[in-house]
Amino acid sequence: MSDTPEQLTLELPHRAADGAEDFLVSGCNEAAVLAIDRWPDWPHPAMAVVGPPGSGKTHLVNVWRTRSGAFVVPASGLSEDAASMFGERRAIAIEDIDRGIADERVFFHILNMAAEHRLSVLLTSRQAPGELGIALPDLRSRLRAAPVLSIEPADEALLRALLVKLFADRQLVVEPHVVSYLALRIERSAEAAARAVAEIDRLALASRRKVTRALVAEVLARLSPDDMG
């Protein structure tokens, strides 16, 4: 019997996100991914990707940007210049609309341009656009009409695959039961997984130990509840 730890493989489909990172696809984000893939055959000129922090919204924006030639702007930076560039590019991604909109009238103008000239707008938010506190009534109506592509918190399959990838990125060989042990004890988010793997890597290097269940348990005991989600 070999003493070499059994190495895990990624069983989920994956794609390049912005040419640099793998975007893992699972049941929690598949509907959003399929909708992005259907562009430009969208049922509405504006679509909204909604999900918790670390769920992959920006990765999807990058995938769509590569396909559509869109430019990306945070909602907090919306200006007349953004509207002018939208007219040239014909596609725009407006990120984090739940964190503040610099100019609601410009935002409304962009959505009108999309509707009138068959342009494309992709929005990201942690809340459904229709639930946001929008002061401008016309903009509020437009946002409520935008179809929502929901990304749910990572399911078990996605979290396990993400942990495998994060460990592989750091050239760490980790047995399946150790990954399962960790996956059951952290929040189901990319941010929590990245924090945990970084701490595990740090301790493994400092103590010159392999990544075992005991080492993972030691790291989890040191992390605060906020660190684990």
Pair (46, 98) in one structural domain:
yes
Q: Is the pLDDT of residue 10 over 70?
A: no
Q: What angle do CA 124, 130, 132 make, to 5 degrees?
A: 75
Q: Averaged over 120-142, what is the pLDDT?
A: 96
Pair (105, 191) in one structural domain:
no
Pair (101, 68) in one structural domain:
yes
Pair (137, 160) in one structural domain:
no
The whole-chain average pLDDT of the chain stands at 86
Q: Is the pLDDT of residue 31 over 80?
A: yes
Q: Is the pLDDT of residue 12 over 60?
A: no
Pair (159, 119) in one structural domain:
no
Residue 164 structural domain: 154-222
Q: Cis omega before residue 40 (within 30°)?
A: yes
pLDDT of residue 153: 79
**Domain end among 98, 121, 150:** 150
Where residue 11 falls among pLDDT bands split at 50, 70, 90? very low
Pair (118, 78) in one structural domain:
yes
Q: Is the pLDDT of residue 16 over 70?
A: no
Cβ neighbours for 12, distance < 8 A, ≥ 6 positions apart: 24, 25, 26, 157, 158, 161
Q: Is the pLDDT of residue 22 over 70?
A: no
Long-range contacts of 180-187 (CB under 8 A, 24+ apart): 181/213, 181/216, 181/217, 182/216, 182/220, 183/156, 183/159, 185/220, 185/228, 186/159, 186/220, 186/228, 186/229, 187/153, 187/228, 187/229
Residue 1 lies in a domain: no
**Domain end among 150, 174, 199:** 150
Q: Is the pLDDT of residue 127 over 90?
A: yes
Q: How buried is residue 129: exposed, middle or buried, by Cβ count under 10 Å (0-12/13-18/19+)?
A: buried
Q: Is the pLDDT of residue 55 over 50?
A: yes
Q: pLDDT digit string (tens) for 65-116? A: 999 999 999 999 999 999 999 988 999 999 999 999 999 999 999 999 999 9
Pair (33, 138) in one structural domain:
yes
Token pair of 163, please? 């942990």
User: 46 with 146: CB under 8 angstroms?
Assistant: yes
| Percent composition of the chain: helix, strand, coil (DSSP 3-state, to 5) | 50, 15, 35
User: 177 with 213: CB under 8 angstroms?
Assistant: yes
pLDDT of residue 25: 76
- Segments of 55-203 assigned E as strands: 71-74, 91-95, 120-125, 148-150
Pair (125, 163) in one structural domain:
no
pLDDT of residue 8: 42
Where residue 195 falls among pLDDT bands split at 50, 70, 90? very high
Pair (59, 143) in one structural domain:
yes
Token pair of 215, please? 């080492």
Sole residue written with tokens 């992390």: 223
Residue 46 lies in a domain: yes
Where residue 157 falls among pLDDT bands split at 50, 70, 90? confident
Q: Is the pLDDT of residue 17 over 60?
A: no
Q: Averaged over 37-52, what is the pLDDT?
A: 94
| 91, amino acid identity | A
Instruction: Give the count of domains, the chain.
Output: 2
Residue 164's CATH number: 1.10.8.60
pLDDT of residue 225: 60
Q: Is the pLDDT of residue 228 over 80?
A: no
Pair (145, 158) in one structural domain:
no
Pair (95, 178) in one structural domain:
no
